[in-house]
Structure formats: structure tokens, C-alpha cells
Amino acid sequence: DIVMTQTPSSQAVSAGEKVTMSCKSSQSLLYNENKKNYLAWYQQKPGQSPKLLIYWASTRESGVPDRFIGSGSGTDFTLTISSVQAEDLAVYYCQQYYNFPLTFGSGTKLEIK
Amino acid sequence: AVQLVESGGGLVQPKESMKISCAASGFTFSNAAMYWVRQAPGKGLEWVARIRTKPNNYETSYADSVKGRFTISRDDSKTMVYLQMDNLKTEDTAMYYCTAAPMLNTGNWFTYWGQGTLVTVSS
């Protein structure tokens, strides 16, 4: 199984600041035939279902604000929020879909100071 | 608008069975792969099961933790997906989310999510 490791487990930032969070996979998620990274990011706000933010490591889902930026390749990935807003308070999960079983990271909890 | 509405959760005793359902609308259900993802109280997300479309022979996949105990199925005529859970264990206690990957998905990421149904396994 591919193990997904997210760091940090939590972080607190002030509104307007830039924040980055890391997701590392135990094996490469880059599929050589199409040069795509099989990684998605989700946001789960308190008391809500998760919401898809990004797929193919860097493609923003329709309607997702452009302050959410996915980057990385291979085994190292980053989710950046360029200017955090109060409504970004949530837990962020990465998920690999390179193979089955589909696996998630343990999440990064974002708190707003 | 896309809707996924789960139902059928509740309290069940260990070793018993339960079937939860998901009613889908707002997208072409027959073209979508469907999944169940669960979340134990205060914990992270865990993929449980997937069922593909008719052209893909309704192929199913399961997490090792539920293989042999859970069965995912779908009824395209009713736009419903189901999860039959047998021999339930206390560690199956979780919110169960129905999720979908519409036809435009070329990978197994979860575009649409329901609100979840809570399954509690306890004596």
C-alpha cells in the first residue's frame, strides 16, 4: 500500500499570511506514460463533508479560489494557500489514486490566529 | 445541482449486518464510478469500496479492512449505490460518505460527496 505522510499535523496562521503544507508518498505517484501525478487534495471544514480542491497534483477543481495552489511531483507535494482567509479553517487531506487501495494522508489542521 | 444523500445508518451490535444507501442526482449516474469513504470519530479519511460502471463490468474493489465483509452494489435505474456490511466490528464505527467520480474524471479522485450517514457498532 502507498503510505501518505502529511506535515505538519497542525499549524496556526494569521489571516492574509501564506501557508504551505506537505504531503509525501512512499512511492512515486508520477505515471510515466502520461506524465501526470496521481494526487488530489481535499478540504474538510468543521462539521462538513470533505470538498475536492485539487487533482492531478496541481489542477484546481472548478470554483476553487485561486489562492489554493498545488505543486510537486513524484513523491513530494505541497498545498499552498497564498493568502489565508478566516473561512480556510479546516483540515486538509492529500490522497493518492495511483493504485488501489486508495489512501489518504492523516491531514493537516489549519487554525487561524 | 449534484446531490448524494446517504441513509440507513444507526446503531448495530457487533457481528450483525447493516445496509446503507446513497441516492444520487444531478449528474449522469450511469457514467460515474461510485465509492464509499469512511471517517471514524475524530479521525482521518479511509477509502472503503469502489464500483465501476456497466462498460467496466461493474468491477468492484475493497479496502483490506473490509474485504470479505462488505459488498458495494449499484442500481443505475434508480441511481442508487449501496453498501452491505456484514459481520460488523466495533472498528467499523464511522461516518460513511458516498462519493462519486463523474465521467470526466480520468482518475480515482472524489469529486462529489454526500453528507454522510453515521454507523455505530456497539453492544
pLDDT at A96: 98
**B108 close contact with A: CB closer than 8 A:** yes
> In chain B, which residue's Cα lies nearest the Cα of A52?
B111
Query: How sure is the predictor about B113, in pLDDT bands with cuts at 50, 70 and 90?
Result: very high
Residue bearing cell 493537516:
A108
The verdict on a CB contact (< 8 Å) between A102 and B108 is yes
> Cβ(B113)–Cβ(A49) under 8 Å?
yes
* Rounded distance between C-alpha atoms, residue A59 and residue A69, angstroms: 8
Residue B105 pLDDT > 80: no
The verdict on a CB contact (< 8 Å) between A97 and B97 is no
**B115 close contact with A: CB closer than 8 A:** yes
**B106 Cβ contact partners less than 8 Å away, ≥ 6 residues apart:** none
C-alpha cell at position B5: 444523500
Residues facing residue B16 across a β-bridge = none
> In chain B, which residue's Cα lies nearest the Cα of A97?
B108
Question: Tens digits of per-residue pLDDT, B57-85?
Answer: 999 999 999 999 999 999 999 999 999 99
For residue A100, the distance in angstroms to the closest alpha carbon of chain B comes to: 8
Start-to-end CA distance of chain B, whole Å, equals: 39
Q: For residue B99, how many C-alpha atoms fall within 13 Å in the half-sphere facing its CB? A: 26
Q: What percent of chain B has pLDDT over 70?
A: 100
Chain B CB contacts of A36 under 8 Å are 107
The verdict on a CB contact (< 8 Å) between B45 and A55 is no
Q: Which residues of A9-25 are buried (b: 16+ CB within 10 A; e: fewer)?
A: eeeeeeeeeebebbbbb
C-alpha cell at position B20: 446503507
pLDDT at B102: 87
Question: Tens digits of per-residue pLDDT, A30-72?
Answer: 999 999 999 999 999 999 999 999 999 999 999 999 999 999 9
